[in-house]
């Protein structure tokens, strides 16, 4: 009998034994295999391969949840009892889980290119050394560099008291590069990130991208800082994808809404947030992206959810509990980083649909503005956001003019959505995302979008 068959038999037997003590019971067993490499300057910070096995138990009783995680299957019955006991202690209301059809299925998202498990650690390290050498030798003004490589292959087995039994697996790969340059008191950083669920080859051949990160850092040393003001701004698809994920996507996660009545009122379905040309979606159903899968961590089939239709809020992202409490349909957005954590409502692949305006026409009639592309970093706080552009140029009389540095874009997300004047006919999927929420950082997501023209954006820089 195979180990997987033994695991299936064990968890289904436990589900049958304990399910009558709670309203809902789920057991998730996970096996993962991965590599982690971190180079900083001329030093190797991390060089490791790992294999891990563990699991989690979630129990719900009268609306109260109990959770336990484990890495020893021999103690799993005790973890089930602990989760049930915790749920029965805190449960004092009603269990509201939106109904779904139980499913029993085995689904695999195979690597369509070379499986990273077939590549030796030495070869992965050599790739990192190669890219790090490009960063370090581009200029003597480069003072620090960083290269990060990570891959993981997860196999998930999920069983619930409703009869669901799902096995699914997928690979995931990511690399991050950064170079910091300095002259005098001026310090500038260039970054690039890439990811894939297709295979190892997607991380090879990135020399031009890596060199570009270092070159941007060096070039920015002599650029003038942007003059702080409110401008009409044109952003590229990468920044558009970051914006829709960070500034709007998190506000669409329904666990943030039903716990916050004021925010729920702001995010009322039917409220107009943008122009009629604006369409926003999230979903794990589109295949081939880092936020794609077949079923979420509650056994809900992946979907595509339209969040904004013709500028109007029409949907939000749900777990079964948030859908039950808000009397809506689950969307398959309950995800956990690994077995140590319970599922939360999380984005998957989030995008703004392409528009009809030729990209070159987005600059038309802008007397003085800013064109920003790529990203260095950013943060959000409720409705407010601040993002740093990786590169930027002034727009003068409808044309790209001189490059500038230290460009930060900030504002209120709802006002900014309403200020979208035009949407480009281009589109780009950014597979570099690692999302954080509730202590679960680095969850793979995809972001996409076209170029956008937005009026009245606050751009930071030297004060006028």
Please, which residues have CB within 8 angstroms of residue 399's CB and are 6 or more apart in sequence?
363
Same-domain pairing of 214 and 298 = no
Same-domain pairing of 216 and 314 = no
Same-domain pairing of 258 and 297 = yes
Domain encompassing residue 317 = 229-460
Same-domain pairing of 18 and 64 = yes
Are 305 and 281 spatial neighbours (Cβ–Cβ below 8 Å)?
yes
Buried b (16+ CB within 10 A) or exposed e, 405-428: bbbbbbbebbebbbbbbbbbebbb
**Helix, coil or strand: residue 65:** strand
Instruction: Give the tens place of pLDDT for each residue, 351-377.
Output: 999 999 999 999 999 999 999 999 888
**Is the confidence at residue 461, as pLDDT, over 80?**
no
Band the pLDDT of 97: cuts 50, 70, 90: very high
* Global pTM exceeds 0.85: yes
DSSP string, 350-400: EEEPP-SB-GGGGGTT-SEEEEEEEEEEEEEETTEEEEEEEEEEEEETTEE
Are 353 and 451 spatial neighbours (Cβ–Cβ below 8 Å)?
no
Are 70 and 76 spatial neighbours (Cβ–Cβ below 8 Å)?
yes
Same-domain pairing of 248 and 296 = yes
| Average confidence (pLDDT) over 377-386 | 88
Same-domain pairing of 170 and 92 = yes
What are the tokens at 330? Answer: 């689950």
Same-domain pairing of 190 and 215 = yes
Dihedrals φ, ψ of 336, to 5°? Answer: -125, 150
Same-domain pairing of 164 and 294 = no
Instruction: Give the tens place of pLDDT for each residue, 304-328.
Output: 999 999 999 999 999 999 999 999 9
Domain boundary among 220, 239, 258: 220
Domain count, the chain: 2
Please, which residues have CB within 8 angstroms of residue 338's CB and are 6 or more apart in sequence?
30, 32, 54, 154
Same-domain pairing of 316 and 411 = yes
User: pLDDT higher for 6 or 220?
Assistant: 220
Same-domain pairing of 80 and 181 = yes
Instruction: Give the tens place of pLDDT for each residue, 433-447.
Output: 789 999 999 999 999
Q: Which CATH number is 40's domain given?
A: 3.30.2290.10
Same-domain pairing of 241 and 103 = no
Tell which residue, 251, 237, 228, 241, has the closest CA to residue 410.
228
């Amino acid at each position: 009998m195979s180990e997987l068959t033994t695991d299936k038999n064990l968890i289904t037997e436990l589900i049958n034994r304990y399910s009558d003590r709670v309203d809902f019971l789920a057991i998730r067993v996970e096996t993962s295999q991965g590599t982690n490499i971190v180079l900083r300057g001329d030093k190797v910070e991390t060089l490791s391969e790992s294999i891990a096995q563990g699991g989690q138990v979630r129990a719900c009783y009268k609306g109260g949840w109990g959770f336990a995680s484990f890495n020893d299957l021999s103690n799993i019955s005790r973890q089930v009892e602990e989760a049930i006991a915790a749920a029965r202690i805190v449960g004092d209301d009603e269990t509201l889980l939106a109904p779904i059809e139980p499913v029993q299925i085995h689904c695999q998202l195979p690597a369509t290119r070379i499986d990273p498990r077939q590549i030796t650690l030495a070869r992965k390290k050599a790739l990192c050394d190669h890219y790090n050498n490009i960063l370090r030798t581009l200029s003597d003004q480069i003072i620090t560099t960083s290269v990060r490589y990570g891959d993981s292959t997860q196999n998930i087995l999920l069983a619930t008291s409703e009869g669901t039994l799902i096995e699914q697996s997928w690979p995931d790969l990511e690399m991050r590069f950064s170079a910091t340059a300095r002259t005098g008191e001026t310090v500038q950083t260039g970054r690039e990130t890439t990811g894939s669920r297709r295979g190892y080859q997607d991380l090879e051949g990135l020399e031009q991208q890596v060199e570009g990160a270092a070159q941007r850092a060096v070039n920015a040393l002599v650029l003038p800082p942007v003059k702080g003001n409110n401008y009409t701004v044109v952003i590229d698809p990468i920044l558009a994808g970051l914006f829709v994920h960070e500034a709007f996507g998190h506000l669409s996660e329904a666990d943030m809404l039903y716990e916050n009545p004021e925010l729920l009122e702001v995010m009322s379905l039917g409220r107009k947030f943008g122009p009629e040309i604006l369409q926003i979606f999230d979903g794990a159903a589109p295949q081939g992206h880092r936020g794609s899968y077949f079923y979420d961590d509650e056994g809900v089939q992946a979907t595509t959810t339209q969040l904004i239709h013709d500028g109007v809020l029409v949907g939000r992202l749900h777990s079964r509990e948030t859908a039950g409490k808000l009397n809506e349909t689950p969307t398959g957005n309950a995800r956990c980083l690994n077995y140590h954590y319970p599922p939360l409502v999380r984005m998957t692949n989030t995008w703004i649909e392409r528009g009809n305006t030729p990209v070159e026409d987005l600059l038309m009639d802008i007397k003085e503005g800013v064109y920003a592309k790529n990203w260095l970093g950013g943060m959000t706080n409720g409705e407010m956001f601040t993002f740093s552009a990786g590169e930027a140029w002034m727009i003068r009389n409808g044309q790209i003019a001189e490059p500038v540095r230290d460009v930060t874009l900030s504002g209120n997300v709802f006002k900014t959505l309403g200020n979208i004047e035009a949407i480009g006919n281009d589109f780009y999927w950014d597979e570099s995302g690692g999302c954080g929420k509730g202590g679960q950082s680095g969850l793979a997501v995809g972001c996409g979008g076209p170029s956008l023209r937005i009026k009245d954006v606050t751009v930071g820089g030297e004060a006028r």
